[in-house]
């Protein structure tokens, strides 16, 4: 097991990882920018190293400063959290070259999944159902026309170096195709320095369902069920749940089994998320994330398993603490992302939190790095906490969530709490009847 882990992140996820390290008796080092000197994770860590000025590229993204902090403190592993360097293959390779364990998959696996064309080709080879479309990059309009005619309109053109919704263009008919292809290619070239694009059938009303997987580091793979993350705004998840209201146990175990086997065959190590679009009872792979995700607590709530403990165990070569047959899905969990933003316009609202009171009681978890008197710096993303609620079934979970939202107090700044108080009272949400476009339509109506 590791003696000392350096946490290369900030905010609620730095605290989340720190808690797991403490429970496992592992010493903790955190790195922070000058803007985060008063952050909770800095106060609670055994050691902290200031690695630079506020902009991320000069601190949380500065690989050399982080490696230096490892050397100075004698950390034997790095947990990258999510965002920042968590899916940076070069960072994983550099740490390995310094004999420091990157708690995550190999640089090569990160690289494959970062290239969306390569990721899709790999998924298909491993027996994962993918969205119909081109086999690789498409450059010529003629070829694009042939593929689109074959799969049928509408089609979507995506940047291979994109992901997470960046660099996509929809063509509803052949007349739109040329412009869609040209703009997608030039935007991809400008944004990512790589103009490779691919074509897929455009699914009009899917849900976003993702499967939590783990490779044990010895060629084994398991799945921890799925999360439904269909409620998004501008490709930012807002509300996530496990299980998906759309799946039954048989569908869960079928797609989960396919993903677990693929992860084993790939020789993948650590936590991963296989993202699907789900429409008319069918799953279509879109991307794979090679990190721990923001929404991992809903999976923890229904399985009772600490996924960060598992990451650390696997990273240190100790394998998983559970086999597939030990992973049971118990009840229902929902996560609300509480952002320091205007609940209608989503404009960031940094500043001082004058009063912070979190709900409690059975089935309630709040992951947050903020406290009364804390000043939110304006340099980073606006997530200030997550409310995760568990119940024996979805109805109980929703009742408990409504109560927890009533108790939650965040004064001094604007937050997205009022949005969630509206959503828990909505009939479509109560019925689990929503797709990836539901939230944007709801917000556009201005109800
Ligand atoms: C799609 C799609 C429809 N058809 N691909 C957006 C983020 C990126 N991960 C993939 N995305 C989409 N890919 C096909 N073939 C619709 C989206 C999409 C979306 C997906 C998940 C959650 C919210 C979304 C919002 C708009 C579009």
Taking only the tens of pLDDT, the chain with its 447 residues reads 999 999 999 999 999 999 999 999 999 999 999 999 999 999 999 999 999 999 999 999 999 999 999 999 999 999 999 999 999 999 999 999 999 999 999 999 999 999 999 999 999 999 999 999 999 999 999 999 999 999 999 999 999 998 777 779 999 999 999 999 999 999 999 999 999 999 999 999 999 999 999 999 999 999 999 999 999 999 999 999 999 999 999 999 999 999 999 999 999 999 999 999 999 999 999 999 999 999 999 999 999 999 999 999 999 999 999 999 999 999 999 999 999 999 999 999 999 999 999 999 999 999 999 999 999 999 999 999 999 999 999 999 999 999 999 999 999 999 999 999 999 999 999 999 999 999 999 999 985
In a domain, 124, yes or no: no
Domain count, the chain: 3
Predicted pLDDT at 163: 79
CA distances (Å), 407 to each of 11, 254, 333, in order? Answer: 22, 39, 18
126 CA from centroid of ligand 1 (Å): 22
| CB atoms closer than 10 angstroms to residue 93 | 16
Statement to judge: residues 162 and 292 lie in one domain: no
127 within a domain of the structure (yes/no): no
State the pLDDT at residue 167.
79
- In a domain? residue 168: yes
Please indicate, yes or no, if residue 125 is contained in any of the structural domains. no
Q: Which residues contact 204 (CB under 8 A, 6 or more apart)?
A: 154, 279
What CATH code is carried by the domain that includes residue 363?
A: 3.30.470.20
Report the distance separating Cα 19 and Cα 6, nearest Å. 13
pTM recorded for the entire structure: 0.98
Ligand 1: residues whose CB is within 6 Å? Answer: 131, 156, 164-165, 200-203, 208, 232, 235, 277, 286-287, 436
Do residues 41 and 11 make contact, with C-beta atoms less than 8 angstroms apart? yes
**pLDDT value for 298:** 99
Residues 361 and 289 in one domain: yes
Give dist(CA 42, CA 47) in Å, integer.
8
Pair 315, 360 in one domain: yes
CA distance 102 to 315: 7
Please identify which of the residues 291, 337, 365, 394 carries the catalytic annotation.
291
Q: Which of 149, 167, 201 is the last residue of a domain?
A: 201
Is 86 inside a domain boundary? yes
Q: Is 291 a catalytic residue?
A: yes
CA-based nearest residue to 258, from 123, 113, 127, 125:
127
Tell which of 201, 231, 256 closes a domain. 201
Do residues 177 and 213 both lie within one domain? no
pLDDT at 175: 97
What are the tokens at 204? 């009009």
Residue from 208, 229, 274 to probe ligand 1 pocket by mutation (most atoms less than 8 Å from CB): 208
Mark whether 358 and 383 lie in a shared domain.
yes
Cα-based distances in Å from 96 to 59, 63, 81, 89, 320: 20, 13, 17, 11, 21
The answer on 232 and 197 residing in a single domain is no
Q: Could you tell me the residue range of the domain that residue 37 belongs to?
A: 4-103
Return the SS3 of 167.
Answer: strand
Read off the pLDDT of residues 189-211 as tens digits, 9 standing for 90 and up: 999 999 999 999 999 999 999 99
The answer to whether position 108 is within a domain reads: no
Choosing from 87, 103, 119, the residue where a domain stops is: 103
Q: How far is the CA of 98 from the centre of ligand 1 (A)?
A: 38
User: Is residue 116 included in any domain, yes or no?
Assistant: no
* Residue 297, C-beta contacts closer than 8 angstroms, at least 6 positions apart: 333, 335, 365, 367, 386, 388
Residues 19, 79, single domain; the answer is: yes
Instruction: Please tell me the residue having the least CA distance from ligand 1 atom 7.
Output: 165
Burial 221-252 (b: 16+ CB within 10 A, else e): bbbbbbbbbbbbeeebbbbbbbbbebbeeebb
- Which SS3 state, helix, strand or coil, does residue 18 take? helix
Asked if residue 84 and residue 138 are part of one domain, the reply reads no
Tell me the CATH number at 154.
3.30.1490.20
pLDDT at 446: 82
Residue nearest to atom 17 of ligand 1 (CA): 165
| Peptide bond before residue 154 is cis, with ω within 30 degrees of 0 | yes
pLDDT given at position 319: 98
In this structure, what DSSP letter does residue 36 have? G
DSSP state letter for 139: -
Residue 295: the pLDDT is 98
State whether 142 and 285 are in the same domain: no
- Find the 165 Cα to ligand 1 centroid distance in Å: 6
pLDDT tens by residue, 323-337 = 999 999 999 999 999
Contact 137, 143 (CB under 8 A): no
Q: How far apart are CA 33 and CA 29, in angstroms?
A: 14
Q: Are 216 and 222 spatial neighbours (Cβ–Cβ below 8 Å)?
A: yes
Is there a contact between 73 and 4 (Cβ–Cβ < 8 Å)? yes
CA distances from 410 to 105, 240, 357, 360, 371 (A): 37, 21, 7, 15, 9
My answer on whether 232 and 343 are in the same domain is: yes
| 224 and 322 share one domain | yes
Q: Are residue 281 and residue 137 in the same domain, yes or no? A: no
Domain membership flag for residue 401: yes
């Amino acid at each position: 097991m590791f003696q000392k882990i350096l946490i290369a992140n900030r905010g609620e996820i730095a605290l989340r990882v720190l808690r797991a390290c403490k429970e496992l008796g592992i010493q903790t080092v955190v790195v922070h920018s000058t803007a985060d000197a008063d952050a909770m994770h800095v106060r609670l860590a055994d050691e902290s190293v200031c690695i630079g000025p506020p902009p991320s590229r000069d601190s949380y993204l500065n690989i050399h400063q982080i490696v230096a902090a490892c050397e100075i403190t004698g950390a034997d592993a790095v947990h990258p959290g999510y965002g920042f360097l968590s899916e940076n293959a070069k960072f994983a390779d550099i740490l390995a070259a310094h004999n420091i364990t990157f708690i995550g998959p190999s640089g090569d696996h990160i690289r494959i999944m970062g290239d969306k064309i390569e990721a899709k080709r790999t998924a298909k080879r491993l027996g994962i159902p993918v969205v119909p479309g081109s086999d690789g990059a498409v450059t010529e309009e003629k070829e694009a026309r042939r593929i689109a005619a074959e799969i049928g309109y509408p089609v979507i053109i995506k940047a291979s170096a994109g992901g997470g919704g960046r660099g996509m263009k929809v063509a509803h008919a052949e007349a739109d195709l040329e412009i869609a292809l040209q703009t997608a290619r030039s935007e991809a070239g400008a944004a990512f320095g790589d103009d490779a694009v691919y074509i897929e059938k455009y699914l009009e009303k899917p849900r976003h369902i993702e499967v939590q997987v783990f490779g044990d580091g010895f060629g084994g793979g398991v799945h921890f069920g799925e999360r439904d993350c269909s409620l998004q705004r501008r490709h930012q998840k807002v509300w996530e749940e496990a299980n998906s209201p759309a799946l039954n146990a048989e569908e869960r175990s079928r797609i989960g089994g396919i993903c677990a086997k693929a992860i084993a065959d790939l020789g993948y190590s650590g936590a991963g998320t296989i993202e699907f679009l789900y429409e008319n009872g069918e799953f279509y792979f879109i991307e794979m994330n090679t990190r721990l995700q923001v929404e991992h607590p809903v999976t923890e709530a229904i399985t009772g398993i600490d996924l960060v403990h598992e990451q650390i165990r696997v990273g240190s070569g100790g394998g998983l603490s559970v086999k597939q047959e030990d992973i049971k899905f118990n009840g229902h969990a929902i996560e609300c992302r509480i952002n320091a933003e205007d609940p209608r316009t989503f404009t960031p609202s940094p500043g001082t939190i004058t009063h912070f009171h979190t709900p409690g009681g059975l089935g309630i978890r709040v992951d947050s790095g903020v406290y009364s008197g804390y000043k939110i710096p304006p340099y980073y993303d606006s997530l200030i906490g997550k409310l995760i609620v568990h119940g024996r079934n979805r109805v109980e979970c929703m009742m408990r969530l409504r109560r927890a939202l009533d108790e939650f107090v965040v004064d001094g700044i604007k937050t997205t709490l009022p949005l969630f108080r509206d959503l828990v009272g909505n009939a479509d949400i109560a019925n689990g009847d929503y797709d990836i476009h539901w939230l944007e339509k709801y917000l556009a109506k201005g109800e």
